[in-house]
Chain A
Amino acid sequence: MYRVTFVDADGKARELTANAGQSVMSVAVANGIDQILAECGGSCACGTCHCYVDDSWTGKLPAPDDSEQGMIECLMNPTERSRLTCQLKMSASLDGLVVHLPREQY
């Protein structure tokens, strides 16, 4: 089991546990983190599971692939810390990950 922390737009944090290989999106959906809409269910097709990875994790995540990068560029308020949570899969190297949630996905 790994840990992942979601921080909402008001700064309220929730630490949750995740299984190996589980997407950060599915951890959020299973635990009622309602800011992650994840409407397509994890196919990189809707752009409604956007998060901002905490500064402390800069450079520590696998880079987004072409389809994730293409979608990120077309989200509301993207930054260099933007990721789609459906594409982030939990593993030992992501244990303790902290992500920040936008107030709205669109």
Chain B
Amino acid sequence: MATATPKASVHGAAFEPLSTAFAQNPYPAYAALRDKGEPQFFPDFGMWLVARFDDVAAIARDNSIVRSPEFFMSHEEIEAEKRAQNWHDMPHHSRFVQFSMLDSDGEVHDRLRKQVFREFTPAFVARQRGMIQSFVDKLVDGLIDKGEIDFVEDLAAQVPGHIIGRVLGVPDEDCPQLRVWSENVVKFFDIDRNDERKTTAEKATTEFYHYLQKLMAERRAAPQEDLITRLIAAQDAGHLNEDELVSTCMLILMAGHGSTIDVLGSGMHALLRFPDQMERLRNDPGLIHTAIQEMFRFESPLPFFHRYSTTDCVVGGKAFARGTKFGLLYGAANRDPAAFGDDAGSFDVGRNPNRHLAFGGGAHFCLGNHLARLDMEVIFTTLIKRLKSISLAEAEPQYKPGLSVRGPKALRLALTPA
């Protein structure tokens, strides 16, 4: 099979993921990439961008296309690649963040996922509804008469981290600090990484590690009904080692913070941009499940993930060699008219079926999807019930820059209680 060589550069006017224009509306750029048909080379990251739904779904679900390069690269090659990407000289980040369930495949991934999946399954998550509802009720009590709020900071950012913290066993009062560490670690994943962010990410990982060491020691001394206690038991039974335990806790806490906050913000913004859909949901609260599903499709909060091929393969009709790095654009795939019809660009709270890829696919399918959806269901249902009107109190909310995340930085709302 012929090896594909970089020919078409997408870097330029058509694709500038760090631009303000892209942050505010990435969808014309995504549509242009889909229209190219075959994957396009993105030289900044040395990867091929995949934008069409069918191609993204096929790669995400293909077990031969993996997250970790260790299946086809030597240790020395991986270290060289890390230096090229400025991932090196970060001892704690390398130990607990660069290694994780997310960046493992095969036996290691499946073994780690098996240790934690129960807490994130439909039945377990459904049992958290009362806890989430009382947490949200209390927050809304404090906000409802304020007149104007920043929905992102005052409400969205306060919920998912606390809920995931309770599932794991982190005391409520520590959650704000965990959010800061999570954000400082995650920021380094975007394409505009620099040395300052690198130092911040390593420092945050180190402090996070020392915190988890202390929490684990406490749970060892006095076990509780929480995930961290269960993971310590799994460690004692030989199912995972201490570094894997720390890495898994960090991954769960980080994953539980950012993306749900982002999609809460963009989902609320979508309801305000399309008032007929807000009205539809108000008149028929039973649409909440399809509405949330649509929020994830319409503004996928994690629009980009990478994969490496471990065999020669064909994507979008083009041949690629073993070891090719692909950038899966979930945000582009989820607006593909070939999968969602001519109204793929419309926000439809009743869309069904809605088989989007916002949670990824295959073995790495988002572990926390049910918990994220329940957080969102409780928040939107509560706000719609307790507020007569919700309106936007700023002209144009600004979205976070970059390719890796999508969500508004802030969302000023005017509230009128029912």
Q: A residues within 8 Å of B by Cβ?
A: 29, 32, 34, 37-43, 45-47, 67, 70-71, 74-76, 78, 104-106
CB < 8 Å neighbour of A39 from B124, B352, B355: B355
Per CB-CB distance, the 10 closest pairs between chain A and chain B, nearest first, are A74-B121, A40-B365, A106-B122, A41-B61, A45-B365, A41-B361, A34-B353, A43-B362, A76-B122, A43-B363
B57 at the interface (CB under 8 A from A): yes
Residues of A within 8 Å of B124, CB to CB, are 74
Q: How far is the CA of A71 from the CA of B120 in the complex (A)?
A: 10
Residues of B within 8 Å of A29, CB to CB, are 355
Task: Sample 21 A-B pairs with CB under 8 A, ordered by A number.
Answer: A32-B353, A37-B353, A38-B355, A39-B355, A39-B365, A40-B359, A41-B60, A41-B61, A43-B63, A46-B369, A67-B114, A70-B114, A71-B117, A74-B121, A74-B123, A76-B122, A78-B123, A104-B289, A105-B122, A106-B125, A106-B370
Q: B residues within 8 Å of A by Cβ?
A: 57, 60-61, 63, 110, 113-114, 117-118, 121-126, 289, 352-353, 355, 359-365, 369-370, 373
A39 touches B359 (CB 8 A): yes
Residues of B within 8 Å of A32, CB to CB, are 353
Q: A29-B355, A74-B123, A106-B370 are in contact. Are A42 and B61 (CB under 8 A)?
A: yes
Q: A45-B363, A67-B114 are in contact. Are A37 and B122 (CB under 8 A)?
A: no
Q: How far is the CA of A71 from the CA of B359 in the complex (A)?
A: 18
Nearest CB on A from B5, distance (A): 30
Nearest CB on B from A70, distance (A): 7
Residues of B within 8 Å of A75, CB to CB, are 121-123
Nearest CB on B from A4, distance (A): 19
CB < 8 Å neighbour of A41 from B57, B110, B113, B370: B57
Nearest CB on A from B330, distance (A): 13
